[in-house]
Amino acid sequence: MKKNYLTSIPELTIRFASEADAPLILEFIQRLAVYEKLEDQVTADSALLKSTLFGDRNVAEVIIAEYKKSPVAFSLFFHNFSTFLGRPGLYIEDLFVDEDMRGKGIGKEIFVFLARLAIERKCGRLEWWVLDWNNPAIRFYRKLGAQAMDDWTVYRLSGDQLHALAGS
C-alpha cells in the first residue's frame, strides 16, 4: 500500500506512522483514554512505544490521519490469526478521531484504509472491540455493516494475575 493514502475527503491523507511519531501516538492514546474514562490505566511512554512499535520486533502498526497536514486521528492495529479460516486477520486495538473532527467521515476513511489493507494482506477478517456504553461508536460500526459478536465473552489476565499464573 502507498506510503500516503489519499482519501475521498479533500485534504485528508492517511499514512503509516514512523518512529518519530511516538510522542504523537502517545498523545492520541492519552486522549482516547480520557474519552474512555481510563486515563489512570495509561502506563505507556514514548520510549516504550518506539521500542514496541518500531524496534526489532514490531508488534503492532499505527496509521495517522492528517487533515490539512495536521494530525486528527490514529489507529493502532496488528495481525491476529483465525484457526478456522486458516488465515490472518487485522485486529484494531484502537481508533480515535479528535472530537472536533468527528462526523466528517474520517473514521470511515480509516476503516476503508484498513479494509483495503486487510484484503491486500489476504486477511480473512477485520475485528475490534467496543465498550458497551459507547453508543456513538456502536451506531457508527453498524452503519459500516459490522456485526456484534454477542455470543462471545472477553477474558483477560494482566498484572498480578498474569504474573501469578506464569509463576505457578
Please give the grid coordinates belonging to residue 26.
Answer: 502517545
Q: Which amino acid is at 18?
A: S
Please give the grid coordinates belonging to residue 43.
Answer: 502506563
Burial 62-74 (b: 16+ CB within 10 A, else e): bbbbebeeebbbb
Q: What is d(CA 115, CA 125) in angstroms, rounded to the nearest whole number?
A: 8
Catalytic residue (choose from 5, 35, 91, 141): 141
Rounded to 5°, angle at Cα 60 from 20 and 140: 100
CB 113 within 8 A of CB 105: no
How would you classify residue 85: left for phi > 0, otherwise alpha for psi between -120 and 50, otherwise beta? alpha
141 is catalytic: yes
For the annotated catalytic residues, the residue numbers are 141
